[in-house]
Structure 1
Amino acid sequence: MNEQIALLLGLLLAHVVADFFLQPLSWVHQRNKRHFKSPKLMLHTLVHGVLSGALLWAWECYYGLGDWLPILAATALIMTSHWLIDVAKSYSNRGFVPFIIDQGAHILILVALSCYLTDADTLGLWFNAQLMHSNTYVLLLAYLLVLNPSSVAIRMLLERWHLPASIAGDKRTTLPQAGHSIGLLERLLMLTFILIDELAGVGFVLAAKSVFRFGDLTNAKDKQLTEYVMLGTLLSVVITLGIGLAARALLIS
């Protein structure tokens, strides 16, 4: 089991280093401009090959028989697949979704390669054990509940209070959906702190939010804005605390 996980984590580590630490932004710009004709893309692919090949060689020497043939074949596969995926991405629109698809494709290749080079059944059994464990479902459900379901609940609970337009402010001066996104991140952080039994972190999140909202609240001409923000924040805390404590009670150690 250890050798399978070691290989997969090692390949993922090599990928992260090569993709995010050893690839200057100028290389990315040239790839997006020249696509498959980009010399920097070839150099980037070579960096991936060197790191992955070194990792595969070290793993084969430690766990295997030191055979060079599977190392060379696996390194060639990583380089070729990486080049093809990056070329495809260079023709796509810029944004978060293409980035996730690109990284997901790279990771799938590494997972498949790890299964091929090791005992696929053993690695599959490990993934299945993690997937079928009740704790996995408890955590997934908790994190999903603090996202949109909690936003809907807070919005419905605040429906009875309406802020006049003069108090709510000009929406053109705020980022679109910024408040909603801040609320999601706030609850994700609070839930994480609750699950790892660091309740002081919840106070840190609330204190940080209060600092940034202090100017808006002190400059408000009416206490209604302050009360509205307080209600929304406390509702968010109460809901997240409830979900987090329930999840902790359901987790099996």
Structure 2
Amino acid sequence: MAFSLLLVALIIVHLLADFYWQPMSWVNDRNTRHFKAKKLYFHVLVHGITSAIILTLWEYTFGWQQLSTVLLATAVIMLSHYFIDIAKSYSNKGVVPFLLDQIAHIAVIIALCIYITDNQSLIAYVSALATNPKVLWVVCGYLIILSPSAVFIRMMLERLTANFSSEGSLALAGQSIGMIERVLMLSFILLDQFAGLGFLLAAKSVFRFGDLSASKDKKLTEYVMLGTLLSVSVTLFIGLGVNYLIR
């Protein structure tokens, strides 16, 4: 309980300091001036002060009441946040750098919580998950329905709809929608929530009905139907197979 309490408290503080208490002007200053940005130091200081408050409350309630632990953990959070944000400021500001930035911050927080609480049970739990065949089969299922399935569906569509052009649509939009769709469908299948699967397909049909009914191109309708049916078939096959292997 003590580990979970410290972890969730520090994550909440991180989210508040990173997304609610950081004005956009601070972000722009960091992205343009990098390590020379004064606002970056203000941002790091906000993280340090709020984290120190949480760490102090935890240490003197559940810990060994050692001020040195609070100071060390606060210093690690501030220094790691500074260097991670500096690295991000030199990136292309896309989705991947954003995700890597947040993963790095959370990883530091988790490592600190393990160190402060001396929680060896968490390490044992993670190790057990990493060597659990059921967990690995689920991971394998999600990996298959993403890139490999996208390649298979694209090849099948190219074979079945030769010379058809999807001109006018956003680049990679169909592939991205398909991946998200298959992730949701596989999640519903693994949770035995087939009603959710039906709702997802119905919702997609409603959104696409206007486009297809307004289109005079029969090929577009056939293309969308083929893509949807292939996506559903592949995901059902993979999902039912994973369900069989983990039960």
**Coarse TM-score class (shorter-chain normalised):** 0.7 to 0.9
Deviating runs (4+, > 4 A) in structure 1? none
2:184 matched to which residue of 1? 189
Return closer, same or farther for 1:133/1:17 CA change in 2, 3 Å cut-off. farther
Closer, same or farther: CA 90–225 of 1 in aligned 2, 3 Å: closer
Indicate if the aligned counterparts of 2:10 and 2:109 stay in contact, CA closer than 8 A: yes
SS in 2 for 1:63: coil
Letter in 2 for 1:4: F
The amino acid across from 1:129 in the alignment is A
Inter-partner Cα distance in structure 2 for 1:7 and 1:139: 30
Q: Tell me, in whole angstroms, the C-alpha distance in 2 between the residues paired with 1:223 and 1:235.
A: 18
Q: Which residue of the partner structure matches residue 86 of structure 2?
A: 87
Q: Using the alignment, how far apart are the partners of 1:126 and 1:3 within structure 2? A: 16
For 2:146, the aligned partner's letter is: L
**Which residue matches 2:11?**
12
Matched positions, count: 247
Match of 2:99 in 1: 100
CA distance in 2 between partners of 1:64 and 1:123 (Å) = 17
| Residue in 1 that maps onto 2:20 | 21
**TM-score normalised by structure 1 residue count:** 0.86
State the superposition RMSD in angstroms: 2.3
User: Equivalents in 2 of 1:26, 1:178: separation in Å?
Assistant: 31
Is the partner of 2:170 in helix, strand or coil?
coil
Alignment partner, residue 199 of structure 2:
204
Q: State the secondary structure of the residue aligned to 1:62.
A: coil
Structure 1 residue runs of 5 or longer lacking an equivalent are none
Q: Is the 8 A contact 1:46 1:79 kept in 2?
A: yes
Shift of 1:120: 5.4
Partner of 1:58: 57
Match of 2:135 in 1: 136
Distance 1:84 1:158 in 2: 46
Cα deviation, residue 156, structure 1? 3.5
Query: Is contact 1:27–1:41 with CA below 8 Å preserved after alignment?
Result: yes
1:29-178 counterparts in 2 under 5 A? 29-119=28-118, 121-165=120-164, 168-169=165-166, 171=167, 173-178=168-173
1:109 partner letter: V
Give the counterpart letter for 1:176 in structure 2.
A
- Answering whether residue 236 of structure 2 is matched by residue 241 of structure 1, we say yes
Are the counterparts in 1 of residues 188 and 194 from structure 2 also a CA contact under 8 Å? Answer: yes
Q: Which runs of 5+ in 2 are unaligned?
A: none
- Residues 154-197 of structure 1 show CA distances to partners (whole Å, capped at 9, x for unaligned) of 233334422554xx45x2x2211111111111111111222223
Task: Say if 1:76 and 1:213 are closer, same or farther in 2 by CA, change over 3 A.
Answer: same
Q: Report whether the alignment pairs 1:180 with 2:179.
A: no
Amino acid at match of 1:48: H
The structure-2 alpha-carbon separation of the partners of 1:237 and 1:59, relative to structure 1 and needing over 3 Å to count, comes to same
Alignment of 1:211-230 (within 5 A): 211-230=206-225
Residues 207, 26 of structure 1: alpha-carbon distance in 2 compared, 3 angstrom cutoff: farther
- Distance verdict in 2 for CA 1:40–1:154, change over 3 Å: same
TM-score (norm 2): 0.88
Range with greater deviation from structure 2 (74-83 or 51-60) = 51-60
Deviations 1:181-236 (A, max 9, x none): 11111111111222223222222222222233223322333433322321221121
In the alignment, the residues of structure 2 paired with residue 155 and residue 142 of structure 1 have an alpha-carbon distance, to the nearest angstrom, of 19
Q: Deviation string for 1:48-82 (max 9, x for gaps)?
A: 11332222123223321322221122112211221
